[in-house]
Amino acid sequence: MQRILVTGASGFVGHHLLAALHEAWPDARLHATVSRQGTTGRGGVASPRTTQWHSLDVRDASQVNELINRLKPQAIIHLAAQSHVPTSFEHTRYTWDVNLQGTLNILDSIQRECPDALLLNVGSSDMYGAAFRHGHKVSEDTAFEPLNPYAASKASADLAVGQTAASQSLRAVRARPFNHTGPGQRDAFVLASFATQIARIEQGKQSPVLETGDLTAERDFIDVQDVCQAYIELLSLPEEGQRGQAYNIASGRSMAIGELLQKLLSLSSVAIEHRLDPARQRPSDIPVVQASTEAIHAATRWQPSISCETMLSRLLDDCRQRQRQTP
């Protein structure tokens, strides 16, 4: 692998992924895109110094064509997305434009400018939506039943990649990661919100009360580093595994949000109580999320290697460091 392009690399996962790619292919030229100049910084991990950054709005087909034509990457990891569910309700058209139209632009450009490139399209467990209500682990064959604009737009993009691979010889793999967290995640997401509040309380910036939404929901969380290692394994699949196949990325075990909160609180040196905040409730929430991971285990050597306790400790330590740097 000599030239790798990561779209949307300035987000939470991007810098972790760039570091993992550099470790896996140290001689590769890494290219990364950001939607706006000056936004390449992200707490938690530093991207390799050799990474070349490019400004790109994936909604603009001409920009996408120009960049892919100029770089001729051998692999493209498509992370660029509007990934915040509440924002997807507030800015629905923008979410669809970025998540679906942006992916279609990437597909068109690959076929036009570098048809031999491998596309790793990053979807989301949210695409399964109401299918989780059936009470069993979802597999890659489970039909999508999205419940919000983010999930619907990502599901449409996933299907577009699968259809193109099936009918137009696109080399592609569809990743479907479940919940993941770690250093650098914004506090708009549940565990990062808890960890940020704990860090603020420890440093006297907030009263010792942690505000939460519903704590009964069960989710499958893994560390962002494990997700990145899964992407590395999927990029390394033989050609017969690059024909649009989809892979869930998860631990295969679900845990109540309340239990995860208690684990975080046990890492704090101060006494903290928590209080229900109705504003933190999500519309169309799902009580239990369960994932089948048989496909990725059959196709690769990947297994999550970071324990839940270590995952939470890494997240909390990063939040503490960021709070120390914030007035």
For the chain, the domains span 3-180+221-249, 185-220+254-289+306-324
pLDDT, average across residues 250-271: 96
What pLDDT is attached to residue 269? 86
In 192-314, which ranges are E strands? 209-212, 218-219, 222-223, 243-249, 255-256, 273-276
Task: Give the SS3 label for residue 254.
Answer: coil
pTM of model > 0.85? yes
Alpha helical stretches, state H, 72-137 = 85-90, 92-96, 102-113
Which value, in Å, is the radius of gyration of the alpha carbons in the chain? 19
Task: For 281-324, write each residue's pLDDT tens digit.
Answer: 665 478 999 999 999 999 999 999 999 999 999 999 999 999 99
What pLDDT is attached to residue 326? 85
The average confidence (pLDDT) of the chain is: 93
What pLDDT is attached to residue 47? 64
Nearest to 156 by CA among 106, 105, 100, 87: 100
pLDDT, average across residues 199-214: 92
Pick the CATH number of 185-220+254-289+306-324 from 3.90.25.10, 2.40.220.10, 1.10.287.1060, 3.40.50.300: 3.90.25.10
Pairwise CA distance, residues 8 & 99, whole Å: 11
Confidence check: pLDDT of 63 > 60: yes
Task: For 210-228, write each residue's pLDDT tens digit.
Answer: 988 889 999 999 999 999 9
Task: For 94-151, write each residue's pLDDT tens digit.
Answer: 999 999 999 999 999 999 999 999 999 999 999 999 999 998 999 999 999 999 999 9
What pLDDT is attached to residue 253? 95
pLDDT, average across residues 255-281: 90
**Top-confidence residue, 243 or 1:** 243
Pairwise CA distance, residues 146 & 127, whole Å: 5
Confidence check: pLDDT of 36 > 90: no
Compute how many other C-beta atoms are within 10 angstroms of the C-beta atom of residue 213.
Answer: 16
Confidence check: pLDDT of 160 > 90: yes
What pLDDT is attached to residue 38? 44
Query: What would be the CATH architecture of the domain defined by 3-180+221-249?
Result: 3-Layer(aba) Sandwich (3.40)
What pLDDT is attached to residue 35? 86
What pLDDT is attached to residue 279? 76
Residue 17: enclosing H or E segment and its boundaries? helix 12-24
